[in-house]
Amino acid sequence: MPIPTEPVGSIPRSPELVAAMQQFAAGRLSRDQLARLQDEGVRDTIKRFEATESPVISDGEQSKPSFATYPIHGLASLAPDGVTIPFADGHTRRLPRLTAGPFRYQTYADAYLVAARAHARVPIKQAVISASALSLLYPEEGIRGYPRDAFLEDLVREAETDIRRCLAAGAHVVQIDFTEGRLAVKLDPTKGVLKAFVDLNNRVLARFTTEERRRIGVHTCPGGDQRQRAGPRQGTAPGEAARQAGAADLHRRDRSDRFEGGDARGGPRPRARGGRVYPARPAGDDRRLRFRTLLGRHVYGSGHGIRQDPRARGRHRAGGAEAARLMS
């Protein structure tokens, strides 16, 4: 039985592309010049990913202005003083604040997918931001003439459209980035905030058929918080987030998490995918399958979980070494 393996997350941009984006922001580079450099970044990333022999690749999010706020890039009804997200290492990220409705995406992720497929010879997965992340745009004090319920209805419709457009454009799978799931438990150990986030995302997923959801996954990771575990006992967050999705992508830095997914309604258990991750270990099942991950490491798995084979550490093929360089 094959174990699904695919890349998760962004790939660092080249120094040239980083400089070009900075020059564009400062008005010293035209939009056409930036677009050409971004396309070259996508082309190079795909070429390197294909060299790893991964059966599924991504564009590394080379041309997205941000993995979280690409749908609202250029939206006029935003103010800079939105929610501030603190991290243990001292840095913060601040989201913009929505000032007026109705809420509409400015860019859908299928635009990045179409551009990537022009250069690729293998299937491509496409990442989209979760509805729960964008829900943080709405201010606590509300917006005159645009109640929160109306905003959430618009948000759910736009998030659904984002996913549907990617599926229609030929995405192998669509990955919903749910990095704020771990933040929710960190801020609220009772998991009340997490439940609200999951309920909102499930409103989006409920609009898809069972067959469509097989091509939709949920990704969770520590984000940029490098110096701490995700928070007190967050192990159930990925499973709860994936109840209605077809897969859970877990990216971990320690062994504190356990994938405890499964459909509460008795449906099929979401499949767990991972590279450098440790989903729940198999219990009483020694039917193990050996395969190579994207990073070139040998991993054993049973369909319930995977672990690295310690005897294979350090043994990388050329493709695996290239992937490790890309992902480091």
| Contact assessment for residue 39 and residue 63, using Cβ atoms and an 8 Å cutoff | yes
| Contact assessment for residue 198 and residue 176, using Cβ atoms and an 8 Å cutoff | no
Predicted model pTM: 0.74
Number of domains in the chain: 1
Would you state the pLDDT for residue 274? 42
Burial of 177 (0-12, 13-18, 19+ CB in 10 A): buried
Residue 271 lies in a domain: yes
Q: Which of 117, 113, 55, 106 is nearest to 78 (CA)?
A: 106
What's the mean pLDDT in 299-312? 31
What's the mean pLDDT in 21-30? 95
pLDDT digits (tens, 9 = 90+) for 174-190: 999 998 887 788 778 89
Kindly report the backbone phi and psi dihedral angles of residue 84, in degrees, each rounded to the nearest multiple of 5, phi listed first.
-100, 130
| Number of other residues whose CB lies within 10 A of the CB of residue 123 | 15
pLDDT at position 221 over 90: no
Sheet holding 271-273, edge to edge: 126-129, 174-177, 216-220, 247-250, 271-273
Of 28-37, 174-183, 228-237, the one with minimum mean pLDDT is 228-237
Residue 290 lies in a domain: no
For residue 279, the one-letter residue type is: P
pLDDT digits (tens, 9 = 90+) for 61-102: 999 998 999 999 999 999 999 988 776 667 777 899 999 999
Q: CA distances (Å), 136 to each of 11, 51, 70, 308, in order?
A: 25, 39, 15, 37
Q: Which of 127, 237, 130, 220 is nearest to 179 (CA)?
A: 220
Please report which confidence band the pLDDT of residue 276 belongs to, taking 50, 70 and 90 as the band edges.
very low
Residue 229 lies in a domain: yes
**Cα–Cα dist 192/197, whole Å:** 9
What's the mean pLDDT in 19-33? 95
> Tokens for 310?
């310690």
Residue 3 lies in a domain: no
| Number of other residues whose CB lies within 10 A of the CB of residue 269 | 15
Would you state the pLDDT for residue 253? 43
How much of the chain, in percent, has pLDDT values that exceed 70?
64
**Cα–Cα dist 308/300, whole Å:** 6
Q: CA distances (Å), 205 to each of 129, 160, 232, 244, in order?
A: 13, 8, 27, 6
| Contact assessment for residue 305 and residue 279, using Cβ atoms and an 8 Å cutoff | yes
Residue 8 lies in a domain: no
pLDDT at position 171 over 60: yes
| Contact assessment for residue 170 and residue 126, using Cβ atoms and an 8 Å cutoff | no
At 231, which CATH number?
Answer: 3.20.20.210
**Cα–Cα dist 317/121, whole Å:** 21
Residue 212 lies in a domain: yes
Residue 292 lies in a domain: no
pLDDT at position 159 over 60: yes
Look over the chain and give the mean of its residue pLDDT values, rounded to a whole number: 75
Would you state the pLDDT for residue 19? 96
pLDDT at position 328 over 60: no
Would you state the pLDDT for residue 54? 87
Domain that holds residue 185: 15-279
pLDDT at position 231 over 80: no
pLDDT at position 133 over 90: yes
Exposed e or buried b per residue across 82-111, where buried means at least 16 C-beta atoms within 10 angstroms of its C-beta: beebebeeeeeeebbbbeebebebebbbbe
Please report which confidence band the pLDDT of residue 1 belongs to, taking 50, 70 and 90 as the band edges.
low
> Tokens for 245?
């999705």
> Tokens for 71?
């749908």
Cis peptide before 102 (omega within 30 of 0): yes
Q: Which helix (H) or strand (E) holds 154?
A: helix 148-168
* Highest-scoring range by mean pLDDT, 126-135, 219-228, 260-269: 126-135
Please report which confidence band the pLDDT of residue 173 belongs to, taking 50, 70 and 90 as the band edges.
very high
Of 104-118, 126-140, 185-199, the one with minimum mean pLDDT is 185-199
Please report which confidence band the pLDDT of residue 224 belongs to, taking 50, 70 and 90 as the band edges.
low
